[in-house]
Amino acid sequence: MKGSINLMTENNLTIFEDHKIRRTYDKKTETWFFSVVDIVSALTDSTNSRRYWSDLKKQLTEQEGFSEVYEKIVQLKLKAPDGKMRETDCANTESLFRIIQSIPSPKAEPFKRWLAKVGYERVQEIADPEKSLNRARENWKKHGRSKQWIQQRMLGQETRNKLTDYWKDHDINEGDEYATLTSIIHQEWSGVSVKKHKDLKGLKSHNLRDHMTEAELIFTALAELSTRQIAESINAKGMPENKTASKAGGKIAKAARIELENKTGQKVISNENYLKSPKKIT
């Protein structure tokens, strides 16, 4: 099964309530494959969703009819919270419906409706990519983001896409190498690692950028824009040269951040987030 899947080059995230669900699209069969662990986490709120899924698999293999579903579960590389691409149990919508039936959760039925809706939306987005952008705007709006924040988030994503396009064409491998360069840029401009920044905001598996303030988004975009333009100016290829460009790009945004902080007396790096119960830093 794994060898027959023609996946998109980039992984995607979708949201059920406040839970991030990793997914990847098979263009050949026009099918979404979702991370089973992420879905288990969304349905159960388990503190150890991997262990929950491991135990559930053992239980289900003993039940009649599940063996056929189990054979359809595939391991695909999805981006882990640490930024690395790791093999993850994934299943299509049909198989997930069967798995969901075995999870006692009041969210089961709403999740089934959500899952069916996600599949339908993908068909619409293929025909009209603008629908995807409009949905992103509406989703962020529902989660309390301002019009200005949404605009900056989307502009930042465009800046990010141009940078990763450059990396892709200049001998940088998607996954670990993308994550390494991103970490260099972030550490350089912000003065903290991605992990520490997420810890400050009280985030776990959440996307850091989705919980950045408008200022944090702007400086992230400045750092990545600067990195790409510097890389282009020296025609950086491979990791050593792109690491140099990443450090230089991050430093430009760092200098701007420090100047703004000196003028305003306020730190750019913030503990603010968009969780229902934000973590308070004392």
Residues 55-94 pLDDT 10s: 888 777 766 556 666 677 888 888 887 778 888 999 888 7
Structural domain boundaries in the chain: 2-127, 145-264
The answer to whether residues 84 and 179 touch, using CB atoms and an 8 Å cutoff, is yes
How far is 22 from 14, CA to CA, in rounded Å?
A: 7
Report the alpha-carbon angle 273-81-224, nearest 5: 70
Per-residue confidence (pLDDT) for residue 73, from 0 to 100: 84
Specify the pLDDT at position 276: 66
What's residue 175's pLDDT? Answer: 83
What value does the mean pLDDT take over residues 222-248? 97
Mean pLDDT throughout 190-195? 96
Which is more confident, 267 or 205?
267
pLDDT digits (tens, 9 = 90+) for 115-160: 776 655 554 444 445 555 666 777 788 778 899 999 999 899 889 9
- Between CA 163 and CA 173, with CA 168 as vertex, the angle to 5 degrees is 115
Region 174-201: what's the mean pLDDT? 95
From CA 69, how far away is CA 7, in angstroms rounded? Answer: 21
| pTM exceeds 0.95, yes or no | no
Tell me what pLDDT residue 121 has.
54
Which of 40, 14, 24 lies closest to 96 in space, CA to CA?
A: 40
Q: Which of 4-13, 101-110, 183-192, 194-203 has the lowest mean pLDDT?
A: 4-13
- Which pLDDT band, with edges at 50, 70 and 90, does 12 fall under? low
Note the pLDDT of residue 15.
Answer: 64
- What is the DSSP secondary structure assignment for residue 186, as one 8-state letter? H
CA distance 1 to 147: 43
What gap in Å lies between CA 35 and CA 29, rounded to an integer? 18
pLDDT at 122: 52
Under 8 Å between Cβ of 121 and 131: yes
CA dist., res. 36 & res. 92, Å (int): 9
Task: Tell me what the pLDDT averaged over the chain comes to.
Answer: 82
Sequence length of the chain is 282
CB 224 within 8 A of CB 160: yes
- Mean pLDDT along residues 199-210: 89
What is the structure's pLDDT at 228? Answer: 97
- Quote the percentage of the chain above a pLDDT of 90: 41
Please report the pLDDT score of residue 13 as a whole number: 56
**What is the per-residue pLDDT for 144?**
81
Q: What is the mean pLDDT of residues 239-263?
A: 98
Percent of the chain with pLDDT over 70: 80
| pLDDT score of 11 | 43
CB contact set of 137 (below 8 Å; sequence gap of 6+): 150, 154
- Dump pLDDT digits (tens) for 94-109: 788 888 888 888 888 8
In the predicted structure, residue 34 carries a pLDDT above the cut 70:
yes
pLDDT class of 277 with cuts at 50, 70, 90: very low
Alpha-carbon distance of 179 to 186, in angstroms, equals 10
Confidence of residue 241 (pLDDT cuts 50, 70, 90): very high
